[in-house]
Amino acid sequence: MGLYNGAMILTERQGSVLVLTLNRPERLNAITGELLEALFQALQAANEDKEVRALLLTGAGKAFSAGQDLTEFGEAKPDYEAHLRRYNRVVEAISALEKPLVVAVNGPAAGAGMSLALWGDYRLAAVGASFTTAFARIGLVPDTGMSFLLPRLVGLAKAQELLYLSPRLSAEEALALGLVHRVVPAERLMEEAMGKAQELAQGPTRALALTKKLLLETYRLSLTEALALEAILQGEAGRTLDHEEGVRAFREKRPPRFQGR
């Protein structure tokens, strides 16, 4: 078990999967600058570790994350623009990950905590987990990439409803909207999430990373630009050892043994 910034983030390797756990259970894993720095460092280290093929992010205790810990600022008026640079580094680190990220939402995910959950490539929620955007309740706009992701997941009209009214969504409602991929009993959440992370870790992770890059880029590209980017990234994927192995396995009529290279 590894520790970052005084155990704000717990890390544990299970084979080729690295588990990252937000670890402020006494505060429902509310986010502070210190936690963000720890998470950023853990993501950077995982991305550089060739033995890590997939990541799993969850929360300790009863919550995934209650969002920003407003008590961090005391009586001072926050400089949100400066503070959000810490959040943005984490979002950019997640979007640049060259390995899949599974998120296991074990309890409430609110505000920036919900945003973090949505950045998972595969998202599971426990029965009893909940989601709320929360920003409008304290007179703020969405952050941590929620304005980018939410309308892409649920459409503009539903995103407006969720952001303006901040309803509390059950895990089942989140599933119906496409915010998560699966809902499982709480006692099986980590087992199911680990199984999915291990499955992804055995895949052609370099090609998956390029696919993620392509999907994020296509929203701002014209069709002609998207076709050109597909060609460029396909060329890169075609030069990987995993592609060679995939073709070889197809010809030999056996499952491929990808290495993420």
What is the pLDDT, as a whole number, of residue 81?
Answer: 87
The fold of 2-201 is 2-enoyl-CoA Hydratase; Chain A, domain 1 (3.90.226)
Domain locations in the chain as residue ranges: 2-201, 205-252
Q: Do domains 2-201 and 205-252 have the same CATH topology?
A: no
CATH of domain 205-252: 1.10.12.10
What is the pLDDT, as a whole number, of residue 111?
Answer: 97
What is the pLDDT, as a whole number, of residue 2?
Answer: 60
Q: What is the DSSP letter of 31?
A: B
What is the pLDDT, as a whole number, of residue 6?
Answer: 58
What is the pLDDT, as a whole number, of residue 1?
Answer: 55
146-154 helix and 156-165 helix, angle to the nearest 10 degrees: 130
Long-range contacts of range 146-150, CB-CB < 8 Å, 24 or more positions apart?
146/112, 146/114, 146/115, 146/118, 149/115, 149/118, 149/119, 150/118
Distance CA 118, CA 133 (A): 11
| Residues ≥6 apart with Cβ < 8 Å to 227 | none
Distance CA 184, CA 176 (A): 14
What is the pLDDT, as a whole number, of residue 260?
Answer: 84
What is the pLDDT, as a whole number, of residue 3?
Answer: 56
Return per-residue pLDDT of the chain as tens, 261 residues: 565 555 899 999 999 999 999 999 999 999 999 999 999 999 999 999 999 999 999 999 999 999 999 888 878 888 888 889 999 999 999 999 999 999 999 999 999 999 999 999 999 999 999 999 999 999 999 999 999 999 999 999 999 999 999 999 999 999 999 999 999 999 999 999 999 999 999 999 999 999 999 998 888 899 999 999 999 999 999 999 999 989 999 999 999 999 888
For the entire predicted model, the pTM comes to 0.92
User: Torsions phi, psi of 219, nearest 5?
Assistant: -65, -20
Distance CA 34, CA 115 (A): 18
What is the pLDDT, as a whole number, of residue 67?
Answer: 95
